[in-house]
Amino acid sequence: MSDPRLRAIVFQVLVIGLVVALGAMLFANTLDNLSRRGIQTGFGFLGNQAGFNILSHLIPYSETSSYGRAFLVGLLNTLLVSAIAIVLATILGFVIGIARLAPNWLVSRLAAAYVETIRNIPLLLQIFFWYFAVLRSLPLPRQSISIFGVAFLNNRGLYLPSFDSVPHLAGLNFQGGFVLVPEFVALVTALTIYTASYIAEVVRAGVQSVGRGQSEAAYALGLTRGQALRLVIVPQALRVIVPPLTNQYLNLTKNSSLAAAIAYPELVSVFAGSVLNQTGQAVTVIGITMAVYLAISLSIALGMNLYNRRTVFVGRS
């Protein structure tokens, strides 16, 4: 045992053996437990009829659809919420990040206060706040809050105009246009506001990473502050901003799973919630759910690496 190479091999074999033994034990116990509860393993259950309804779905879905279909509905809702919140959070985050660096004392203080307040309050609490305290206590459709007479906000959700019709009150509810359910509005609002506070910090750090000389040179060329930002500083800052920014996008996508707490039918809520409860397929369902998030994370990380390789700063040689 005095040979370090031999010691290394023995140590590794021991650890691998331990991990494999633990895995085998858990696997055996799980199979044992599942068969005792009369639950069949495998993916066969995905074809069975789901029998529950889903509040909002992008693809046709009804109670007679299969569990596999329910999974797709959940996945699409996750992607929808994430995509919309990412766009909104990016806009808000850039505005606040730039505002934090504004020469205007009041504006930069306000932006700092926003960041310090929002970052230090748990996201779940913010989701609850928007859902239970704000959207659920909005007026009934008849007393809707009108937004320029084309969009309406009430306790049933946000009614937006679509290409062919504008929402209008008919009887007790609105007709025409399309409706965003309150769960969706609350989730997108909370995710946007929360993530924007992190994006603002990313943007600030990125802009500050561009040397003073760059902005001085830009002003010396006679560019205004706006032009200097747009043409000189932001393009260079983006190189620093993009990697942590994608990290925030990933966080946002993962955080959208908190929708389970307000029953917005995204992946975790539909699949790891309703489907799991009905089928008892704990291992398969949790496994698939985790695999989906892992696949999203890894593919974005891969894309990020490619982007980094292309934009990496090559100094003068």
Partner 1 sequence: MSWLHRNLFSSPTNAALTIAALYLLWVVIPPFVDWALIDAHIHGTSREACAGGGACWVFIKQRLPQFIYGLYPESERGRVDLAFAILIVAAAPLFVPRFPAKRWIGAFLFLVYPVIAGFLFTGGVLGYREVPTNQWGGLMLTLIVALTGMAGSLPLGILFALGRQSELPAIRAISVAFIELMRGVPLITVLFMASVMFPLFLPEGMNFNKLLRALIGIMLFSSAYMAEVVRGGLQAIPRGQYEAAAALGLGYWRTMGLVVLPQALRIVIPGIVNSFIALFKDTTLVLIIGLFDFLGMIQAAATDPNWLGFATEGYVFAAAVYWVFCFSISRYSQTLESRT
Give the C-alpha separation, 19 to 25, whole Å: 10
State the minimum distance, in angstroms, from the CB of residue 267 to partner 1. Answer: 9
Span 200-229, contacts to partner 1 by CB under 8 A: none
- Edge-first strand order for the sheet with 157-160 is 145-147, 151-154, 157-160, 178-180
Q: Which is nearer to partner 1, 214 or 257 (CB)?
A: 257
Q: Give dist(CA 180, CA 80) in Å, integer.
A: 12
Residue 8 interacts with partner 1 (CB under 8 A)? Answer: yes
- C-alpha distances out from residue 40 to 49, 92, 214, 308, Å: 16, 48, 65, 46
Binding of partner 1 at residue 43 (CB under 8 A)?
A: no
Give bridge partners of residue 178 from the DSSP assignment. 160
Does 147 bind partner 1 (CB under 8 A)? Our answer is no
How far apart CA 163 and CA 303 sit, in angstroms, is: 34
State yes or no: residue 276 binds partner 1 (CB under 8 A). yes
Among 72, 81, 89, 123, binds partner 1 (CB under 8 A): 123
**Min. distance of Cβ 116 from partner 1 in angstroms?**
7
Name the one residue in this structure whose structure tokens are 């959208």.
Answer: 256
Q: Which stretch binds partner 1 (CB under 8 A): 6-14, 87-95, 165-173, 183-191?
A: 6-14
By CB under 8 A, the count of residues binding partner 1 is: 54
Task: Name the residue nearer to partner 1 (CB basis): 70 or 179.
Answer: 70
From the list 292, 290, 281, 289, the residue with the least C-alpha distance to 42 is 281
In angstroms, rounded to a whole number, what is the distance separating the alpha carbons of residues 118 and 153? 24
Residues at the contact surface with partner 1, assessed by CB under 8 A: 8, 11-13, 15-16, 19, 26, 29-30, 32-34, 36, 102-107, 110, 116-117, 119-126, 128-129, 132-133, 137, 254-255, 257-258, 260-261, 268, 272, 276, 282-283, 286, 289-290, 293-294, 297-298
